[in-house]
């Protein structure tokens, strides 16, 4: 069975067995993905989904891996990474259609070129459109849900579905697709407003400078580890709980931004989980607040 499954799977794109996930995460951490595949197009993606169903094999989707903590033991089953076949950005009037694997920052820059405003804040976010839609990525008071008109999805039962902005139910760092296991983001359509290119450029510069001043640089990370509790800042709470500079193995709570854990080199997922648990305990005992993870833990 295993041979015929592998034969069928590899027809659909670049396949590797026991692929180290540390090569596909911005934290540079993560054990092997059992079957790692980059489907060439939507039909190939659909066949991968159907094979997982037929052989009862777990299926995991990853984007650019910038919001992931993959455990050291790796991920069982099929890990799908959307790649070239899903990387396109098309502008039509005030709307931009972008494939799920396009970089969100590239969409933001393309919007600038066409004098379309509304995505300036996204220029420093390293993830894909698919990951941004699932997580309702945002910064500086804005989020992707606000400018999203429609999302095309391949359901886990193999149908193509379309979700309107309202149906997406975007909330803080979440959407219907994160709450319910419905399917895989294929494409998103953004509705933007006309704006002057110089004005957009200035806004982008401002956000980039802000990031440089507040976010750690030079070491791998996954951005913010915890969500901000309602009306509060996770970074502030973690700092006041005395966690800045805490270290487990080669993982460190950043001195620059307490809600970031950086990999000093060769850190393991176990090191990061140790820090996460210490932070949660300290914040709970000092403020009686339960921090919720923003990073997605896989494996």
- The single residue among 44, 48, 112, 184 that binds ligand FAD, judged by CB under 6 A, is 184
By CB under 6 A, residue 125 contacts ligand FAD: yes
Q: How far apart are CA 162 and CA 45, in angstroms?
A: 17
Nearest to residue 5, comparing CAs of 59, 54, 38?
54
- The single residue among 128, 175, 203, 259 that binds ligand FAD, judged by CB under 6 A, is 128
Count residues near ligand FAD (CB under 6 A).
29
Q: How far apart are CA 35 and CA 33, in angstroms?
A: 6
- The single residue among 13, 47, 66, 75 that binds ligand FAD, judged by CB under 6 A, is 66
From the candidates 19, 120, 187, 294, give the one annotated as an active-site residue.
Answer: 294
What DSSP assignment string belongs to 100-126?
A: TTSBHHHHHHHHHHTTEES-GGGGG--
Stretch that binds ligand FAD, among 136-144, 157-165, 236-244, 245-253 (CB under 6 A): 136-144
From the candidates 19, 173, 221, 254, give the one annotated as an active-site residue.
Answer: 173
State whether the Cα torsion 92-189-96-120 is positive or negative.
Answer: positive
- The single residue among 48, 119, 134, 189 that binds ligand FAD, judged by CB under 6 A, is 134
Q: Which residue bears the tokens 């596909």? A: 24
Q: How far apart are CA 89 and CA 165, in angstroms?
A: 19
From the candidates 101, 102, 143, 224, give the one annotated as an active-site residue.
Answer: 224
Instruction: In angstroms, give the least distance from the CB of 130 to ligand FAD.
Output: 2
Question: With 0-12 CB in 10 A as exposed, 13-18 as middle and 19+ as buried, what is 192?
Answer: buried
By CB under 6 A, residue 67 contacts ligand FAD: yes
By CB under 6 A, residue 223 contacts ligand FAD: yes
Confirm whether 294 is a catalytic residue: yes
Window 258 to 277, contacts with ligand FAD (CB under 6 A): none
Confirm whether 173 is a catalytic residue: yes
65 or 116: CB nearest ligand FAD: 65
134 or 282: CB nearest ligand FAD: 134
**Contacts with 187 (C-beta within 8 Å, 6 or more apart), sequence order:** 86, 97, 98, 99, 100, 129, 151, 152
- Read off φ and ψ for residue 106, nearest 5 degrees: -70, -35
Residues in the site for ligand FAD, rule: CB under 6 A?
26, 61-68, 82, 100, 125-128, 130-132, 134-135, 137-139, 184-185, 221-223, 296
Active site residues per annotation? 173, 224, 294
């Amino acid at each position: 069975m295993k041979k015929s499954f592998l034969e069928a799977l590899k027809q659909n794109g670049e396949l590797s067995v026991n692929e180290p996930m540390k090569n596909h995460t911005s934290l540079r951490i993560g054990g092997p993905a059992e079957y790692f595949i980059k489907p060439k197009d939507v039909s190939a993606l659909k066949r991968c989904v159907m094979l997982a169903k037929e052989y009862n094999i777990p299926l995991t989707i990853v984007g650019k891996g910038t919001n992931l903590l993959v455990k050291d033991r790796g991920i069982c089953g099929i890990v799908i990474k959307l790649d070239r076949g899903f990387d396109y950005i098309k502008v039509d009037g005030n709307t931009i259609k972008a494939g799920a694997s396009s970089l969100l920052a590239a969409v933001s820059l393309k919007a600038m070129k066409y004098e379309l405003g509304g995505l300036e804040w996204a220029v420093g976010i390293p993830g894909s459109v698919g990951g941004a839609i699932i997580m309702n990525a945002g910064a500086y008071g804005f989020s992707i849900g606000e400018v999203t008109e429609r999302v095309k999805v391949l359901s886990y039962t193999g149908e193509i579905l379309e979700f309107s902005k309202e149906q997406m139910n975007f909330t803080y760092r979440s959407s219907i697709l994160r709450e319910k296991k419905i399917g895989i983001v294929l494409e998103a359509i953004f509705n933007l407003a006309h704006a002057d290119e110089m004005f957009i450029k200035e806004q982008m510069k401002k956000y980039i400078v802000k990031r440089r001043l507040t976010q750690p640089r030079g070491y791998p990370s996954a951005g913010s580890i915890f969500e901000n509790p309602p009306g509060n800042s996770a970074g502030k709470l973690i700092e006041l709980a005395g966690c800045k500079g805490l270290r487990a193995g080669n993982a460190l709570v950043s001195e620059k931004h307490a809600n970031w854990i950086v990999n000093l080199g060769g850190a393991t997922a176990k090191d990061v989980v140790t820090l996460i648990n210490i932070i949660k305990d300290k914040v709970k005992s000092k403020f009686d607040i339960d921090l919720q993870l923003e990073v997605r833990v896989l494996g």
